[in-house]
Amino acid sequence: MGATRTLLLCLALGGGLWAAFVAPAQAGERVASLNLCADELLLRLADRADVASVTWLARDPRGSTVADLARDVPVNRGLAEEVAAEKPDLVLTGAFTTRTTTSMLRRLNVPVMELNVPQSLDEAYAQIKAVAARLGVPQRGTRMIADMKQAIATLPPATGPAPTALVLRPNGFTAGRGSLADEILTRAGLDNLAARLSPDRLGQLTLEEILAAKPDLLIINGADDAPPSLADDLLHHPALAPYAAQGRLVSLPPRLWACAGPQLAEAAKRLAAARLRIAP
């Protein structure tokens, strides 16, 4: 008898917790975001009136794909004080950014939803679904996912052997095995050389190693209008000039495949188009 009661209590408590976890936002719930990827999902999915604030990064068109949506939304700089003062009903954070602020908000009993960095398209779809559900707009999430799947399914079909490709990011980082970028390359019909060269997801390569790998296509993962830095300087090194001269260099802004969202399909489209150019 006692055991049954304990069990029932546990079930009730557990059910209650579960309900609290998935409880969708009600109308008028205000949501803040502390991470650029979360900003993009929040601005795309939620009603404008429900957005308490997004990061200041969301307004910079160089890094953000939602700069126009963020123009008239309040912005924060990821500090606990400013976000807590907005008294949001939910805060979206990234798993690797503003850790101190996130733990401070938890101590203040502000509900926090933490977003991981997706490592595959499936993880990206799952994240969109989870955020849309939490924001109380599951149908908008479903539509976004369906559009992305549709765009990726209608990419030009790959014929013949896949051309090899290598991603070059600022400071010589690449997109290695098991990363979201790796999967997008594969979907676009390209063979990611870094998956063989670099042991981890974000391997760092020297220019000499990149040239020696002889990729058919070099994907420069930097914005053309990036402000000057040594990290970006590397992307314009004269040793890479033959790739540009032979039309085997494609520039892809990092904002297109850093976060879960419809821009991932855009990245796949551009890469598939580049593949068609070099291997028609």
Partner 1 sequence: MMRLSLLLALLTLALMAASVALGPVPFDLTAAIGDLFAGRPTLEALVLAELRIPRAVLGAAVGFSLGLTGAALQGLMRNPLADPGVVGVSGAAALGAVLAFYFGWSSVFALALPLGGLVGAGLSTALLLVLARRGASTATLILAGVALNSLAGALTALALNLAPSPYAALEVVFWLMGSLSERSFQHVALALPFMAIGWGLVLATGRAMDALTLGEDTAQSLGFSLRRTRLLVVGGAAACVGASVAVTGAIGFVGLVVPHLLRPLVGHRPGRLLLVSGLAGAALTLGADILVRLIPTRPELKLGVVTALIGAPVFLLLLRRLRLDGE
Residues forming contacts to partner 1 in the complex (CB under 8 A) are 63, 170-172, 204, 206-209, 211-212, 214, 226-232, 234, 237-239, 242
- At residue 188, φ and ψ (nearest 5 deg) are -80, 5
Nearest to partner 1 of 28, 228 (CB atom): 228
> 234: Cβ–Cβ under 8 A, 6 or more apart, which residues?
168, 170, 171, 172, 207
Least separation in angstroms between residue 234's CB and partner 1 is: 6
Helix (H) or strand (E) holding 31: strand 31-33
Distance CA 143, CA 131 (A): 13
Distance of closest approach, residue 181 Cβ to partner 1, in angstroms: 19
Q: Toward partner 1, which CB reaches closer, 146 or 207?
A: 207
- DSSP code of 254? G
CB of 172 vs partner 1, minimal distance in Å? 7
* 155/12 Cα distance (integer angstroms): 48
Kindly tell me which of 20 and 230 has the beta carbon lying closer to partner 1.
Answer: 230
Q: How far is the CB of 241 from partner 1 (least distance, A)?
A: 8
State how far the Cα of 62 lies from the Cα of 204, in Å rounded to an integer.
Answer: 23
In angstroms, give the least distance from the CB of 75 to partner 1.
16
For partner 1, give the closer residue by CB, 155 or 234: 234
Nearer residue to partner 1 within complex by CB, 149 or 237: 237
Give the nearer residue to partner 1 in terms of CB position, either 157 or 227: 227
Closest to partner 1 by CB, 30 or 248: 248
Residue-by-residue DSSP string for 140-198: HHHHHHHHHHHHHHTSPPP-SSPPEEEEEBGGGB---TTSHHHHHHHHTT-EETHHHH-
DSSP string, 117-150: PP-SHHHHHHHHHHHHHHTT-HHHHHHHHHHHHH
225 phi-psi bin (left φ>0, alpha ψ -120 to 50, beta other): alpha
Question: Nearest approach, Cβ of 123 to partner 1 (angstroms)?
Answer: 25
Shortest Cβ 117–partner 1 spacing (Å)? 17
